Amino acid sequence: MRVKNFATPLLVVIGIAITFALSYYGLVNAYYLQIAQYVGIYTIMVLGINLVNGYLGIFSLGHAGIMAVGAYTSGLLSKYVLTDPALFPLCILLGATAALISGFVISIPSFKVRGDYLAIITLGFTLILKSLLQNMEFVGGARGLRNIPGNTNIMWVFIWLVIAIAAVRLFINSKYGRSTMAIREDEIAAELVSVNIKKTKIVVFGFSAFLIGVSGGLLSHLLSYTNPNTFGYAMIAEGLIMVYLGGMASISGSFLGAALWTLLVEILRPLGVWRWIVGAVLLIIIMIFRPSGLLGGRELNIGAFLRQITRRDSAKAALEVANGGK
């Protein structure tokens, strides 16, 4: 236990140092760095989606709209208001805060409306937002917002990723995490063992939206532009695909889903349009054989896994693996 407490911060510091070096001294091929940044950004987004769709068990399609809020707010701020690159983290933070507020808004219908009906309300939110952005000239209308400072680099992606993972872990292993999963299992029973359903839903939707907003901000500052079409059907579909590919209600699954899908799209890029076809077929196959995703409801726990392999205390280790090492 003591070793672990000491090891994690050390690893984080080393990681920041390495990513700092990568960002400012160009040690690695820029293309690989770009892919790594995508993986990081999408992992943050998938963690956010997973909070609502996986842990809370509500099928939401709001993530594309929420991401747009984060992307546009932070983009506008760093382009016109907080133009100093040193204020970049503040821009992301404020963009994510705007997204958080939109998350609160989406949580309100979830008190009353359920299932597929709620899914379409969240979809409506995304499409309304997209339409609004297309019609607002001061954010660039349909052409989108251009010349956003390209402040995103691998170091910032790494730092936000660490923050996101730590926050989700702390949240899930708290009273809120337990009430969230209890609502997923049985909302009425949860309410009748003293869980405040509305409060939990507001908190989860808000937290989820905050993370998705961070990823939106990082994405727009990576690409240096953003436009309404980025946050339409494709983003909704890809977000869901990454969540369900990696596994619902799983932190390591979120990373796995984001990494696998991003890499797959990149590896298959030479195939042109075929990459979507191969990707779609692969997803269908995974859904058939692992309907909750590769790591559904579990965490990758290397220690427990190794112990299981070496058969030392194997029954206990198996139990730990089964329970995500809790």
Partner 1 sequence: MGVLLQQAVNLLQLGSIYALLAIGFSMVYGIVGLVNFAHGDIFMVATYLLFFLATWLFSMTSSSFAVLLASTALAAAAIGLLAMIIERVAYKPLRGAPKVSLVVTSLAVGLLLQHLVLEFLGPNSQRVPRMVPDIKFTVGTVNFEFYQILIILFALFIMLLLNQFIRRTRTGVAMRAVSQDATAASLMGISKDFIISVAFVIGAAIATVGASLYGMAYPIFDPYIGQMINWWSFTAAVLGGIGNIRGAVLGGFLLAAVMVISPMVLPVSSYRDIVAFSVLILVLLVKPSGLLGKRSIQKV
Partner 2 sequence: MAESNAAPILTLQNVCMYFGGVRAVDDLSLEVYHNEIVGIIGPNGAGKTTVFNVLSGVYIPTSGDIFFRGERLNELPPHTIISNGIARTFQNIRLFAKLSVLDNVRVAFFGHIRYSLVDTFLNTRAKRDEEAAIREEALRLLEVFGLADKAALPAANLPYGDQRRLEIARALACKPQVLLLDEPAAGMNPNEIDELNRTIVRLRERFDLTILLVEHQMRLVMGICERVLVMNFGRKLALGTPVEIRNNPEVLEAYLGKVRR
Contact residues: partner 1, CB under 8 A: 53, 59, 109, 112-114, 116-117, 119-121, 123-125, 127-128, 131-132, 134-135, 188, 192, 232-233, 237, 240-241, 244, 248, 272-274, 276-277, 279-281, 283-284, 287-288, 291-292
Residue 178 binds what, of partner 2, partner 1, none (CB under 5 to 8 Å, by partner type)?
partner 2
Tell me which residue of 164, 169, 200 sits closest to 182, measured CA to CA: 200
Note whether 59 binds partner 2 by CB under 8 A. no
CB atoms within 10 A of CB 76: 22
Mask: binding to partner 2, 257-296, rule CB under 8 A, as x and -?
Answer: ----------------------------------------
216 is written with which tokens?
């939106």
- Minimum Å distance from CB 291 to partner 2? 14
Note whether 4 binds partner 2 by CB under 8 A. no
91 is written with which tokens?
């821009």
**Angle, CA of 217, 219 and 221, to the nearest 5°:** 70
Phi/psi for 226 (5° steps) reads -155, 145
Local structure of 229: helix, strand or coil: helix
123 is written with which tokens?
């979809």
Go through the chain and tell me how many residues it has: 326
Which of 16, 113, 119, 181 is close enough to bind partner 2 by CB under 8 A? 181
Note whether 182 binds partner 2 by CB under 8 A. yes
Which residue(s) pair with 226 in the sheet?
145
Note whether 51 binds partner 2 by CB under 8 A. no
Scanning residues 195 to 214, which ones bind partner 2 (CB under 8 A)?
A: 195-197, 203
Residue 203 binds what, of partner 2, partner 1, none (CB under 5 to 8 Å, by partner type)?
partner 2
CB 61, CB 116: distance < 8 Å: no
CB 247, CB 257: distance < 8 Å: yes
Which residue(s) pair with 274 in the sheet?
none
Which of 2, 112, 311, 326 is close enough to bind partner 2 by CB under 8 A? 326
Residue 263 binds what, of partner 1, partner 2, none (CB under 5 to 8 Å, by partner type)?
none
